[in-house]
Amino acid sequence: KTTIKELYIRKENYLNKKIKVNGWVRTVRASKNFGFIELNDGTYFANLQVVYDENLANFKEVSKLVTGSAIRVTGELVESPGAKQPFELKAESLEIEGHSAPDYPLQKKRHTFEFLRTIAHLRPRTNTFSAVFRVRSTAAYAIHKFFQERGFVYVHTPIITGSDAEGAGEMFRVTTLGFDKMPRDDRGNVDFTRDFFGKETNLTVSGQLEAEAYALAFGNVYTFGPTFRAENSNTPRHAAEFWMIEPEMAFADLQDDMDLAEDMLKYIISYVLKNAPLEMQFFNSFIDKGLLERLENVVNADFGHITYTEAIEILKNSGEQFEYPVEWGHDLQTEHERYITEKHFKKPVFVTDYPKEIKAFYMRMNDDGKTVAAMDLLAPGVGEIIGGSQREERLEHLGKRMDEQGLNKEEYWWYLDLRKYGGTRHAGFGLGFERLIMYLTGMTNIRDVICFPRTPKNAEF
């Protein structure tokens, strides 16, 4: 048994030989005494043309095959007389493993991405989604390769956690208590001491705090896992469940952090361009015309660097009419991020040193007392794809910041311990994996780069 990709890549090994392939029928053209089947097995864009005739024992049944059916074909691969394909398979036997019903939703025409989202279980059988998810797989491999080659230890941080890593409260609660049966105290608050863990727990919003603990033992670590956010934002860039890569380095500062992020991103892009060239050409032709040129430029140029304060100046002087006002102290909105990276720099840009009020409690306070050692990487077309920082390693400063943000220090006792016992400078970041895939493919909706997207009012599959 071979794959259709293998046939296209190493055709000379298979021509005029007997081969076996499996796949799903894309189209059938049946004539009275013979017919053609376009077969796809998910390994390649191009289909394999299968030719059959009355010599097939089940000729009549094969002639009635419809799109979507699963078949196995044995036969000889021969040069094709038609100009459309380099070869075709002359079927000697054809087994029907699974018939498809005539109402198969993926007929041979262009379907909108909106429609395909409603059949998320079938959309990987289309060329676009086949390419998206192959690139997703290749990019995941590139990320592991990048970190492993540099000696970073892959740590598996918990999915169920007892603390809020971002301090933002946007969490999915984990409970075994039925809603109606939740015991409550006098003030009507749920009494979690009687729940499974004996305390309030939630799905992780970030593995960072746990990664910090491991960085302070191993030096360099990274996580790569699912992350959950109950932010009720219905945007093309937010999902309630997404995957995040979070490296963390001990004895490192913000500059080291940005250097790592830039090296990593360039590595991933180069790896994907080299190892998924056909998919990338497909995106360049059908999804985003300038994609390949843009990505190649990103690999060959330095990323931009500005402070948040400079970004505010650029936006104020831009002459643009923004929907959200630009003011020092306010978070940058998507439109602002896109202006900076798409119109001003036209390449990925690090924005650093944000006001402490709009950033998480764990970021290191700068000497000005107003800003923190944060960095966001903004990318054209996507906006923020990385958020990171140098961490506050000074126990008193951290305690003060937690008080300011109204966090309960007792819940973070172990996190504070890390500052007590051999605390050191350290820094890390989080790369949103889906945002990266959007950036790599030119796809513009996060729902189209994750297999079964979880967004507000949407957990159908």
242 binds, among ligand 4AD, Mg ion, none (CB under 5 to 8 A by kind): ligand 4AD
Binding segment for ligand 4AD (CB under 6 A), chosen from 144-152, 173-181, 213-221, 428-436, is: 428-436
In the complex, residue closest to Mg ion by CB: 387
Q: Work out whether 388 is an interface residue with ligand 4AD (CB under 6 A).
A: yes
Q: Which segments within 128-281 are labelled E, that is strand?
A: 153-154, 160-161, 173-174, 201-203, 220-228, 241-250
Among positions 23, 348, 381, 387, the unique one binding ligand 4AD when judged by CB under 6 A: 387
Whole-number Å distance between alpha carbons of 375 and 349 = 10
Would you call 458 exposed, middle or buried from its count of C-beta atoms within 10 A (0-12, 13-18, 19+)?
Answer: middle
For ligand 4AD, give the closer residue by CB, 310 or 384. 384
CB 146, min distance to ligand 4AD, A: 16
| CB 237 within 8 Å of CB 334 | yes
Report if residue 4 touches ligand 4AD, rule: CB under 6 A.
Answer: no
- Find the binder of ligand 4AD among 49, 206, 371, 390 (CB under 6 A): 206
Q: Which is nearer to Mg ion, 6 or 335 (CB)?
A: 335
Query: Of these partners, Mg ion, ligand 4AD, none, which one is at the site of residue 229 (CB under 5 to 8 Å by kind)?
Result: ligand 4AD
Residue 166 interacts with, from Mg ion, ligand 4AD, none (CB under 5-8 Å by kind): ligand 4AD
Task: Of 162, 150, 163, give the one whose Cα is nearest residue 222.
Answer: 150
428 near Mg ion, judged by CB under 5 A: no
The answer to whether residue 384 forms part of the interface with ligand 4AD (CB under 6 A) is yes
Q: What's the farthest any 2 CA atoms get from each other in the chain?
A: 85
Tell me how far apart the alpha carbons of residues 9 and 86 are, in angstroms, rounded to a whole number: 11
Site string for ligand 4AD, 213-232 (x = CB under 6 A): ----------------x-x-
Residues 227-266 that bind ligand 4AD (CB under 6 A): 229, 231, 238-239, 242, 244, 246
Q: Strands across the sheet with 173-174, in order?
A: 160-161, 201-203, 173-174
Round to whole Å and give the CA distance between 142 and 149.
10
Q: Which strand (E) or helix (H) includes residue 386?
A: strand 383-390
Is residue 386 within 8 A of residue 431, CB to CB? The reply is yes
Number of Cβ within 10 Å of residue 239's Cβ equals: 25
Q: How far is the CB of 161 from Mg ion (least distance, A)?
A: 19
313 binds ligand 4AD (CB under 6 A): no
Distance CA 350, CA 255 (A): 11
Q: Which residue has the tokens 């003011």?
A: 327
Site stretch for Mg ion (CB under 5 A), options 110-118, 143-151, 242-250, 386-394? 386-394
Of 125, 109, 136, nearest to 70 by C-alpha is 125
The rounded distance, in Å, linking the Cα atoms of 453 and 146 is 27
Could you say which of Mg ion, ligand 4AD, none residue 208 binds, taking C-beta under 5 to 8 angstroms by partner kind?
Answer: ligand 4AD
- Which of residues 35, 348, 387, 423 is near Mg ion by CB under 5 A? 387
Which residues ranging from 165 to 194 are in contact with ligand 4AD (CB under 6 A)?
A: 165-166
* Cβ closest to ligand 4AD, residue 26 vs residue 364: 364
- CB atoms inside a 10 Å sphere around CB 325: 10
Question: Residue numbers of the site for Mg ion (CB under 5 A)?
Answer: 387
Question: Residue numbers of the site for ligand 4AD (CB under 6 A)?
Answer: 165-166, 206, 208, 229, 231, 238-239, 242, 244, 246, 384-389, 428-430, 432, 434-435, 446
